[in-house]
Amino acid sequence: MILFSKPKLILMWLLGGILCLIESYFLIRYAAPVASGGEGGLSLFYEANNGASFTIIGTICYFLWFLLTPLVYSSQAIKARVNHFDYQLITRSGGLKVYWFRVLKTNAGIVFIYFLSVQLLRIVLITLFYAPFHFTKVSFFLTNQHYYIFKDGFWNLAAFLILSCLGQTIFSSLVLIVGMFLKNYVAYLPSGLVVGLTAILISGIFLPFSPNSSSFLAHVVSLNAIITPGLQPIGAYAPTFNGGVVFILSFFLYGILCAGLFSLRMYLDKRNGH
């Protein structure tokens, strides 16, 4: 594995766990009592992913996750690039593209497992300290407040877990590729937050072009479409389109953006003899 630091990875897992504990504590503390016959902790789990919807602490934690993304693994690759240590690694790997493809692959795998672990920890904490999850064939919470992927509570949760982690891999890849254009390692450290906020804010540009308050295009462009699929509707009303369709289109959009920027970086590196 390229540039793999086990101590640093363990530290990132601990930081993620601590952040998840703090976030869950305040979320559960200020949550409304579980309604009889309701969906239990399921709705609270989605609220945990929908950070801006509860306390100020939750909002802070939501943005801290953006900061953690480049620190999980990719910061090691950027540091090696800035220090020119990657010259040796590129030679050993068999070429520039081969090396960076391996870096991107390793980063994607680690980030997927990392955020899946975070989501599972949220489920455990909510189940133990708030309420167990109750699944219904037609989730009232989802169908009345969000543009869900599946109406069935169980299948929507399963899809959300997988798709949100895949979305995090695309986002982390974008942050990593953007970092390849930077010449300062310190500037890369907050890049996850900068890229995340920029991607979210850009989606607002497309709202005026919609005939209603929930622009399909704005949702596709928004980063939230891939990191919190089916949550965080844009506009005054809950969208009528399916969250899974939005995820697929957004996933390909950000994938194309990543591929374009990566190709540009490889072209510039070859031209400059990197």
Q: Please answer whether residues 167 and 227 qualify as being in contact, where contact means their C-beta atoms are separated by less than 8 angstroms.
A: yes
Q: What is the pLDDT of residues 79-126, one digit of tens each?
A: 989 988 888 888 888 889 999 999 999 999 999 999 999 999 999 999
What are the angstrom distances between the C-alpha of 186 and each of 13, 70, 173, 176? 21, 12, 18, 14
| Paired tokens of 131 | 């309420």
What percentage of the chain carries pLDDT values higher than 90?
Answer: 35
DSSP per residue over 37-62, as a string? TS-BHHHHHHHHHSGGGS-HHHHHHH
Give me the sign of the Cα torsion angle 35, 38, 40, 44: negative
Report CA 116 to chain centroid distance, whole Å. Answer: 11
Please report the pLDDT score of residue 133 as a whole number. 86
Please report the pLDDT score of residue 54 as a whole number. 56
Q: Can you tell me the mean pLDDT for 39-66?
A: 78
Report CA 31 to chain centroid distance, whole Å. Answer: 24
Whole-number average pLDDT of the chain: 84
Tell me how far apart the alpha carbons of residues 152 and 138 are, in angstroms, rounded to a whole number.
5
